[in-house]
Amino acid sequence: MCKISKFSLKFIILILFLCVNAEEIFNQNSATIVARNVTFTGKITVKEINKPHNLFIGRCTKKYPVLYQENVVLNNDGKSQVTANIRINVEGPVRIICVKIYDEDPDVMAYPSYSSGGIGKNFIEFNVLTTYGKGFKFFVQIFGVKLD
């Protein structure tokens, strides 16, 4: 014969109670969805929103000065797709803390991506991929500390 302690019996009863009540609660909270046809006369406008394609590397706070900043611009003749690898070296003994690469012209749809360097280094390298026939325009800011 199997012995069941009072604690085990209370636990089993509690589980059974919860299962039964959960089913009742579920049945009480069921929803009914009624489909209705709605006639709409008017004009629906669809617009593609061009968001900037910024790239942020590291955590920039106000306590780190700007070590270097530059506009990086490449125009396209309209007959090709540009892929570029851009490397920016910061002169002197420095340690980069963060990099901000801002897309200054989101309509051209150029996409920057991290390649190498950055935090703890004295250079940053990133790739840029453009859409066919377009160039790019980025504003690059490099923040960090001078080591001398």
- What pLDDT, in 10s, does the model give residues 96-143? 999 999 999 878 888 999 999 999 999 999 999 988 888 899 999 999
Distance CA 141, CA 129 (A): 20
Residue 21 pLDDT level (bands cut at 50, 70, 90): very low
Chain CA centroid to CA 26, Å: 38
Write out pLDDT tens, residues 77-98.
Answer: 888 888 899 999 999 899 999 9
Task: Give the pLDDT of residue 24.
Answer: 44
Structure confidence at residue 25 (pLDDT): 42
Q: Residue 2's pLDDT band (boundaries 50, 70, 90)?
A: low
- State which amino acid sits at residue 113: S
Could you tell me if 106 and 55 are in contact, meaning their C-beta atoms sit under 8 angstroms apart?
no
Predicted confidence (pLDDT) per residue in 43-78, tens digit: 656 655 667 789 999 998 899 999 999 999 998 888
Residue 13 clears pLDDT 60, i.e. is over it: no
